[in-house]
Amino acid sequence: MNTTIKGKWALVTGSSRGIGQQIAQGLARLGCHVYVHGRKKENTEKTIVLLKEYDIKAVPVQAELSSETEIQAMVKEIFNSTGGVDILYNNAAVMSEAAPVWEIPREEWKRVFQINLYAVISLCNAFAPEMKKRKYGRIINLSSGIRDQPDLSPYSVSKAAIDKYSKDIAYELKDDNVLVNYLDPGWLKTDLGGKNAWFEVETVLPGALVPALLEDSGPTGEYFYAQDYKYLRL
C-alpha cells in the first residue's frame, strides 16, 4: 500500500459532514490537499476547521449535484486552480423516500439517479481524462450493501449501477494507472444511515482510505468493504 499521497489533491464530494468529512480528515492526515465539497460553501466550514490541524490546503467548493450547471462550474473552478485532482472520491448520495416498490414515482427515480449516478458520471468524465494523461489517478465511488429493501429501490438500484459503472471505467483506464474501485462503508450512523445503523461513522476509517492508497498498477474495478480494515493502522 502506498501511503505517500502527500501533496496530491483530492475532491471528496459530500465532505461537509458524515462519511465524506471522515474521508477528508483521513486524507488530510496523510498530507493530501482536499477540495471540501458541499451544496453551499458555508456548509463546508466545519470540515475546513477540522482540517486546519493538518499541514495541507483545504479548499471549499460548492455544487448542487442535482444541477449539471453547478457541477460543471465546480469542475471549472478546480481546473483553474490546480489543473484537476489526483483522487476523486464520489461520496455524496441521497436516500430515496420509502414507498411500496410499485408506487415509487418516476420523478423519485430520476431525483435519486441524478445525484447518486449521473453526477458521478459527470465528475468522472471531467477528471478521468486528465488523470489518464498524467498516468496517475484514484477514483473511488461509494457503493452500498443495502439489500432486501424494495421500498428503497431507487437508492439500491442506483448503487448497483455505481458498481457496474465503476467496473466499466476501470477497464477503460486499466492501462493508464488510473485505478477505479467502489467502496461499501458499512451501515453507518449518519443522517442517511439513521440512528439504528450498526457502526459509528468514524469506523469508515481507515478502510475508506485503502482504495486511495493503492500502489501503481494495483487492483481496479474491485469491491472494498471499509469494515474489513477496522484493525489496520495507517
Structural domain total, the chain: 1
143-176 tens-digit pLDDT: 998 888 899 999 999 999 999 999 999 999 999 9
Average pLDDT value for residue range 80-88: 97
Residue 108 lies in a domain: yes
Q: What pTM was computed for the model?
A: 0.94
Residue 231 lies in a domain: no
Name the residue among 11, 32, 25 with its Cα closest to residue 90. Answer: 11
Residue 233 lies in a domain: no
For residue 116, the domain's CATH number is 3.40.50.720
Residue 4 lies in a domain: no
193-219 tens-digit pLDDT: 556 655 576 778 899 999 999 999 899
User: Pick the catalytic residue: 155, 165, 182, 223?
Assistant: 155
Burial 50-81 (b: 16+ CB within 10 A, else e): bbeebebebbbbbbebeeeeebeebbeebeee
Residue 22 lies in a domain: yes
Residue 62 lies in a domain: yes
> In which domain, by residue range, is 200 found?
9-225
Residue 53 lies in a domain: yes
Decide if pLDDT at 96 tops 90. no
Q: Is 35 a catalytic residue?
A: no
Strand order in the sheet with 33-38: 58-62, 33-38, 9-12, 87-90, 137-142, 178-184, 223-225
Residue 232 lies in a domain: no
